[in-house]
């Protein structure tokens, strides 16, 4: 389908070569990007290189895990010389060898090399696409190159609808014709030359099918009526269903470079396929300050959004957001549009049918030919709904109870922390209600766990109805629930909500067609009156809840300090202690000891904790005195020493070296006649290194019976242990006794460290103790260090080591190991 035109004879040869190039380009595109199979693609490629490129012979060999093929076309192998060109390509594990024989008839040597290089590159991309089924990975790069190639091309580029009416033209066309785009939009410019060929051209253009191209010379005219001849190639564009929707025309003034025309057309033909075949939605919009209307969308955009191109062209892309404007990432897109730069955002968008999808949006500016002005934006729309929903489901499962859908302990702790932080800024209260169902075990035992689960779900529903959206309802496990009330103007408001909950639970709950009545005991604690973090508030609410149970259940009560004094005695402290030892409810926390010069961890003090199954973590001050009175301190003390020794061995095996572990010894333990033998047995069983075990004794303990103490200390030293004198300064020891005792370390009591940075007397005492210890060759440790000023003064006083909250609170063994690995603190 070639038309003739009165061109000068000097262009005849160039026209023939250009026509051969167009035909080769058209068949190359159709062969490589629309194959029925890779075999068909390679077979056609070989024949095309002979029939269209003009080579005498072409061979193509493909080797991969899936294929081992060879294709040939052209003259017999015996009748041709050695190959004039050879290209070896490797893509995604596939080796491709292309060989051509004899010179291409229509090109000189320099053009032949360029031609074969470009054809080889296209073959390489096509083989990769067919073998891997991957979409174009560099989609955004291709899009930007496509837009820039069109916008900055010296050739005229026109895009029309199927009827030939102009929808787009580049700056080169407007400059050549002196028209403004608004004057041409909607006009059939492809056959509007006025030279009598319009009807014929229209029929030929509209008869084009996919893979065909019209090329020839046409007579064009400028806005002022000046006529000039151009080379023109017209190609159809089809959607993913193969339906032709647009025509693309590339025009070159016959005085322009033929090579430039080849470059631009090849870029257009290749990149238009990236737009059409992309699985991501593509949207091109204007970039005027008051106009970001859509000028183009690809088929994937239509598939993702449900809108066809005719429904969105001319509209602004923000219509996809609808009224859902409270999205943080929207501001990033607005800013990027104002500043004419790239932008990324994750947005909630809405399809034509109203359904929501998550859009991972990326916008990029497109510059004009000079690169000075942004003319358009290219937006890539990626539907990531499946990924986002999966992530949300994982997050929900990690933070919610699977039975009731309420917050679990993990989310509860976070909500309490947030509520306290907000209340602190606003000078408000936070109420923590701990609710336990009365006699819930009877329901499980009498009706089965299925009935019990249904009961818990019904209770959870009623609890949610009693609070605001800003409050949190959580299930701790079993039949225990927690309600966190935020923004309370008064602490008594928590009582109001608790009473509302009791009233809501008073109505019968139907379980298995039977009305079941349930009551609850509610304990209440309030920030800031009862504590400033969640662990304390939950514990005190738990204590108050148990007080309710003691007084008849089905009621509520706020925590008061007197409850804490008797909390453990309520549960029979002595028997609870015995059960705790039997059930391994005790554990050790470790507070790091810090070398003050090197700022490194040199050891730890082992501190016992009781993780009571009902009231949680119990501080030693609440159970050690009773353990001393009842004699339970002996088995408890031996367990502490053995566990500290075992942990020392575990740390050594983990590569942390021999860390010095200090263990507190009670007065009752120290007075045992066979103390040294018991400790020696523990060391032997655990395999601990006694040189890195320190026994901490109080000053008052060693001064009760000096002679007996001296004997015991000497027997302990023979085991290789270190001895530390704890709480030094609070007793009545004298320098002469200190010189007699085999002491290795003095620990300055916290009471002398608290105010050394503000109280000269405390500073003087601390300085004297440190000086005395150093004069006796003892290691000196300051306890309770919580401020930088204290550290600076202690360093000036030449204190050896410190421990305190400034560096670290007591922590479990795993956390201590991670802390120690930091090397510097």
Q: Where are the domains of the chain?
A: 35-132, 136-278, 279-388, 400-565, 637-816
The phi, psi pair for 100, rounded to 5°, reads -125, 145
Distance in angstroms (rounded) separating the CA atoms of residues 414 and 203: 71
Pairing outcome for strands 244-253 and 214-221: unpaired
- Which residues, 6+ apart, have CB-to-CB distance to 518 below 8 Å? 437, 438, 440, 443, 455, 459, 505, 509
Three-state SS sequence of 626-675: HHHHHCCHHHHHHHHHHHHHHHHHHHHHCCCCCCEEEEECCHHHHCCCCH
Please tell me which residue, 680 or 135, carries the higher pLDDT value. Answer: 680
Please tell me which residue, 91 or 710, carries the higher pLDDT value. Answer: 710
Distance in angstroms (rounded) separating the CA atoms of residues 505 and 311: 55
- Is pLDDT at 404 greater than 80 in this prediction? yes
- Which residues, 6+ apart, have CB-to-CB distance to 694 below 8 Å? 603, 660, 661, 662, 663, 721, 722, 723, 724, 744, 745
In which region does residue 247 sit, left (phi positive, over 0), alpha (psi from -120 to 50) or beta (all else)? beta
At the fourth CATH level, the homologous superfamily of domain 400-565 is Reverse transcriptase/Diguanylate cyclase domain (3.30.70.270)
Check if the beta carbon of residue 495 is closer than 8 Å to that of residue 556: yes
Distance in angstroms (rounded) separating the CA atoms of residues 764 and 745: 20
Instruction: Give tens-digit pLDDT for 573-629.
Output: 777 888 888 888 999 999 999 999 888 999 999 999 998 887 778 778 778 877 887
Q: Which two tokens stand for residue 373?
A: 């002005």
First to last CA, the chain: 82
Check if the beta carbon of residue 713 is closer than 8 Å to that of residue 677: no
Check if the beta carbon of residue 326 is closer than 8 Å to that of residue 300: no
Mean pLDDT of the chain: 82
Instruction: Give tens-digit pLDDT for 490-501.
Output: 888 999 999 999
Distance in angstroms (rounded) separating the CA atoms of residues 414 and 733: 49
CATH architecture of 279-388: 2-Layer Sandwich (3.30)
CATH topology of domain 136-278: Beta-Lactamase (3.30.450)
Dihedral in degrees, nearest 10, Cα atoms 744, 750, 756, 760: -90
For residue 5, name the pLDDT band (cuts at 50, 70, 90): very low
- Is pLDDT at 370 greater than 90 in this prediction? no
The phi, psi pair for 594, rounded to 5°, reads -115, 130
The mean pLDDT value for 55-80 works out to 79
Instruction: Give tens-digit pLDDT for 222-256.
Output: 888 887 888 889 988 887 778 888 899 988 887 54
- Residue found by looking up tokens 């990326």 in the block: 362
CATH topology of domain 637-816: TIM Barrel (3.20.20)
How many CB atoms sit inside 10 A of residue 140's CB? 16
For residue 141, name the pLDDT band (cuts at 50, 70, 90): low
Q: What is the pLDDT of residue 36?
A: 73
For residue 813, name the pLDDT band (cuts at 50, 70, 90): very high
3-state secondary structure of 42: helix
Instruction: Report which of 610, 607, 536 is spatially closest to residue 813, judged by C-alpha positions.
Output: 607
Q: What is the pLDDT of residue 264?
A: 56
Q: What is the pLDDT of residue 759?
A: 85
3-state secondary structure of 696: strand
Instruction: Give tens-digit pLDDT for 462-509.
Output: 999 999 988 999 998 788 899 999 989 988 899 999 999 999 998 888
The mean pLDDT value for 423-447 works out to 84
Instruction: Report which of 513, 548, 418, 509 is spatially closest to residue 470, judged by C-alpha positions.
Output: 418
Just give the CATH number of 35-132.
3.30.1140
Mean pLDDT lowest among 80-89, 162-171, 741-750: 80-89
- Is pLDDT at 139 greater than 60 in this prediction? no
For residue 111, name the pLDDT band (cuts at 50, 70, 90): low
Please tell me which residue, 342 or 613, carries the higher pLDDT value. Answer: 342
**Residue 489 to residues 435, 498, 544, Cα–Cα distance (Å):** 22, 16, 22
Instruction: Give tens-digit pLDDT for 259-280.
Output: 455 555 556 666 666 677 677 8
Instruction: Tell me whether domains 136-278 and 637-816 share a fold.
Output: no
The mean pLDDT value for 322-346 works out to 89
Instruction: Report which of 812, 676, 660, 679 is spatially closest to residue 724, judged by C-alpha positions.
Output: 660
The mean pLDDT value for 28-56 works out to 80
Distance in angstroms (rounded) separating the CA atoms of residues 739 and 741: 6
Percent of the chain exceeding pLDDT 70 equals 84
Distance in angstroms (rounded) separating the CA atoms of residues 420 and 525: 13
Q: What is the pLDDT of residue 736?
A: 62
- Is pLDDT at 137 greater than 50 in this prediction? no
Q: What is the pLDDT of residue 162?
A: 87
Q: What is the pLDDT of residue 106?
A: 58
- For the ranges 211-215, 734-738, 815-819, the maximum mean pLDDT occurs at 815-819
Distance in angstroms (rounded) separating the CA atoms of residues 419 and 430: 7
Enumerate the H helices of 56-207 as residue ranges.
109-132, 139-152, 171-177, 181-184, 198-206
Check if the beta carbon of residue 295 is closer than 8 Å to that of residue 316: no
Pairing outcome for strands 520-527 and 514-516: unpaired
The mean pLDDT value for 31-47 works out to 80
Distance in angstroms (rounded) separating the CA atoms of residues 276 and 143: 11
The mean pLDDT value for 788-810 works out to 91
Percent of the chain exceeding pLDDT 90 equals 24
């Amino acid at each position: 389908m070639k038309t003739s035109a009165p061109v000068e004879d000097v262009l005849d040869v160039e026209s023939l070569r250009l026509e051969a190039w167009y035909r080769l380009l058209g068949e190359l595109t159709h062969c490589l990007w629309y194959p029925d199979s890779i075999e068909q693609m390679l077979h056609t490629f070989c024949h095309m290189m002979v029939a269209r490129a003009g080579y005498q012979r072409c061979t193509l060999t493909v080797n991969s895990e899936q294929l081992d093929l060879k294709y040939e076309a052209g003259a017999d192998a015996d009748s041709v010389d050695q190959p004039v060109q050879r290209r070896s390509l490797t893509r995604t594990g596939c080796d491709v060898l292309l060989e051509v024989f004899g010179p291409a008839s229509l090109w000189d040597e320099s053009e032949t090399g360029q031609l074969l290089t470009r054809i080889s590159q296209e073959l390489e991309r096509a083989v990769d696409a067919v073998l891997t089924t991957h979409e174009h990975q560099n989609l955004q790069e291709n899009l930007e190159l496509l837009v820039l190639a069109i916008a900055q091309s010296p050739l005229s580029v026109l895009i029309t609808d199927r009827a030939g009416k102009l929808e787009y033209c580049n700056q080169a066309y407007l400059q050549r014709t002196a028209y403004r785009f608004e004057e041409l939009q909607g006009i059939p410019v492809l056959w509007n030359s006025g030279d009598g060929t319009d009807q014929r051209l229209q029929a030929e253009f509209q008869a084009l099918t996919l893979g065909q191209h019209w090329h020839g010379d046409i007579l064009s005219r400028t806005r002022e009526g000046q006529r000039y001849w151009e080379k023109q190639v017209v190609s159809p564009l089809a959607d993913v269903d193969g339906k032709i929707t647009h025509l693309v025309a590339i025009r070159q003034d016959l005085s322009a470079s033929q090579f430039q025309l080849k470059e631009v057309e090849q870029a257009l033909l290749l990149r238009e396929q990236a737009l059409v075949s992309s699985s991501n939605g593509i949207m091109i919009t204007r970039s005027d300050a008051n106009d970001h209307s859509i000028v183009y969308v690809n088929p994937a955009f239509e598939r993702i959004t449900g809108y066809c191109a005719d429904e969105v062209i001319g509209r602004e892309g923000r219509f996809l957001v609808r009224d859902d404007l409270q999205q943080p990432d929207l501001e990033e897109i607005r800013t990027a549009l104002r500043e004419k730069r790239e932008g990324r955002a994750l947005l909630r968008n809405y399809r034509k049918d109203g359904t929501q999808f998550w859009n991972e949006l990326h916008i990029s500016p497109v510059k004009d030919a000079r690169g000075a002005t942004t003319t358009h934006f290219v937006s890539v729309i990626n539907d990531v709904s499946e990924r986002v929903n999966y992530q949300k489901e994982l997050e929900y499962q990690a933070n919610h109870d699977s039975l009731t859908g309420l917050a679990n302990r993990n989310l509860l702790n976070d909500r309490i922390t947030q509520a306290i932080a907000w209340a602190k800024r606003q000078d408000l209260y936070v109420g923590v209600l701990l609710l336990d169902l009365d006699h819930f075990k009877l329901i499980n035992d009498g009706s089965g766990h299925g009935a019990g689960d249904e009961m818990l779900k019904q209770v959870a529903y009623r609890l949610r109805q009693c609070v605001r959206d800003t409050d949190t309802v959580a299930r701790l496990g079993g039949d225990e629930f927690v309600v966190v009330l935020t923004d309370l103007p008064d602490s008594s408001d928590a009582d109001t909500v608790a009473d509302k909950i009791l009233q809501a639970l008073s109505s019968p709950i139907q379980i298995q067609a039977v009305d079941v009545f349930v009551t609850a005991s509610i304990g209440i604690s309030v920030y800031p009156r009862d504590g400033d973090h969640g662990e304390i508030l939950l514990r005190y609410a738990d204590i108050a809840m148990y007080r309710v149970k003691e007084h008849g259940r089905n009621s509520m009560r706020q925590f008061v300090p007197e409850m804490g004094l008797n909390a453990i005695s309520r549960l029979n402290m002595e028997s609870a202690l015995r059960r705790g030892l039997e059930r391994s409810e005790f554990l050790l926390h470790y507070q790091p000891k810090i070398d003050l010069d090197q700022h490194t961890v040199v050891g730890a003090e082992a501190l016992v904790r009781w993780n009571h199954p009902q009231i949680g973590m119990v501080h030693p001050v609440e159970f050690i005195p009773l353990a001393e009175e009842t004699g339970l301190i002996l088995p408890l003390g031996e367990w502490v020493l053995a566990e500290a020794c075992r942990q020392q061995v575990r740390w050594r095996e983990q590569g942390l070296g021999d860390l010095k572990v200090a263990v507190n010894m009670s007065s009752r333990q120290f007075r045992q006649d066979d103390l040294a033998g018991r400790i020696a047995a523990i060391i032997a069983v655990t395999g601990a290194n006694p040189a890195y075990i320190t026994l901490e004794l109080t000053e008052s303990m060693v001064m009760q019976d000096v002679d007996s103490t001296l004997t015991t200390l000497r027997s302990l030293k023979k085991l290789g242990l270190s001895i530390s004198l704890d709480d030094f300064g609070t007793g009545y020891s004298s320098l002469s006794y200190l010189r007699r005792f085999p002491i290795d370390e003095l620990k300055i009591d916290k009471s002398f460290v608290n105010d050394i940075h503000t109280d000269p007397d405390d500073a003087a005492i601390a300085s004297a103790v440190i000086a005395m210890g150093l004069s006796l060759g003892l290691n000196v440790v300051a306890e309770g260090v919580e401020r930088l000023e204290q550290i600076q003064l202690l360093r000036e006083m030449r204190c050896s080591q410190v421990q305190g909250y400034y560096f670290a609170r007591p922590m479990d063994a795993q956390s201590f190991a991670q802390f120690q690995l930091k090397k510097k603190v």
